[in-house]
Amino acid sequence: MIDATLFKRKHQLWLRIAFLSFSVSDPWVKNRLYEFSQIEFRHLKWLAQSLYENHSAYDYERDPAFNIESESFFTLVHTTINEIKTLHLLYGATPLCERMRHDENYILSTLNAYLEKLSLDEPIKAFDRSRHWPDALLSAAEIDALTLFLFEELYKEYELIMVYFYRQIRAATPSQVSHFQDLIDESHFHLRSFGEMMAKMGILALPRPLHPRTYKITDMGRFLRSGILEEENAKEECRKLSSSITDEKLSSFFEFINFQESYHIEIMKKLLKEM
């Protein structure tokens, strides 16, 4: 059955697998898990399209007890396996459910194979709150600035993904669909980048849930104008952080993000003209 409950469970599964990928250190496992999370996000998109076409309501609510933290990789894998198996009980016999089930059967086989490799059961440091940047010696002030920036930006990128996603399902033209897809893809990259940085510092955490007023937008023109201002503010925050961090690699990364935000503004200006 395709309904709001299934959508919520899939939303949570996307987040679980994405944040699991951020938290693990093995590069091959990390990349494979992130690829699986992107498959789950496509499922979420197809679910939203089906619900919207059938005039069925859905939202971005998450269960209050939903949590992605643990000290053990294997514990997180077991939790993910159980969540997928429970999710399959909600699937019907539609082509979409069959596609999702087959995708997740392969994901399950991969996760079970991980459990057979005892060397992968490493302690997870992504949630230990150490607030230590392992790649360079940073001052306490730099650590504070980086911590605040990452928490704010992780939430912002999650919010943007979900808002653009909501609007893309309701887009009026193929051009709007394309523009929203570009913005979603860019925000996925930023979410992953900031999430992996937070995991390195031991401060990885879920972004807070979104209130329906955040994404159920009635005045799209006003939203885009506000979004342009928000991107300009994000550029300024990136610039400030880049100038305050003495490590050259970190400063270079935030300059890179800063210039990407510039083009996001141009995409939103195109959308604003079309609206």
Is a pLDDT exceeding 80 seen at residue 38? Answer: yes
**Least trusted range by pLDDT, from 35-44, 74-83, 240-249:** 240-249
Q: Which domain holds residue 224?
A: 128-275
Domain boundary among 97, 124, 151: 124
Distance CA 67, CA 80 (A): 11
Q: How confident is the model at residue 34 (pLDDT cuts 50, 70, 90)?
A: very high
Q: Are 168 and 177 in contact (CB under 8 A)?
A: yes
Is a pLDDT exceeding 70 seen at residue 15? Answer: yes
Domain boundary among 124, 150, 176: 124
Is a pLDDT exceeding 80 seen at residue 67? Answer: yes
For residues 100 and 134, state if they share a domain: no
What total of structural domains would you count in the chain?
Answer: 2
Predicted confidence at residue 87, as pLDDT, reads 94
Tens of pLDDT, residue by residue over 154-194, are 999 999 999 999 999 999 899 999 999 999 999 999 999 99
CA nearest neighbour of 269 among 227, 234, 230: 227
For residues 100 and 144, state if they share a domain: no
- CA 71, 75, 77, 80 torsion-angle sign: negative
Q: Are 219 and 127 in contact (CB under 8 A)?
A: no
Is a pLDDT exceeding 80 seen at residue 234? Answer: no
- CA 224, 230, 234, 239 torsion-angle sign: positive
CATH number at residue 39: 1.20.1260.10
For residues 143 and 225, state if they share a domain: yes
In angstroms, how far is CA 214 from the centroid of its own chain? 16
For residues 152 and 180, state if they share a domain: yes
For residues 172 and 102, state if they share a domain: no
For residues 155 and 274, state if they share a domain: yes
Residue 123's SS3 state is: strand
Is a pLDDT exceeding 70 seen at residue 1? Answer: no
Domain boundary among 77, 96, 124: 124
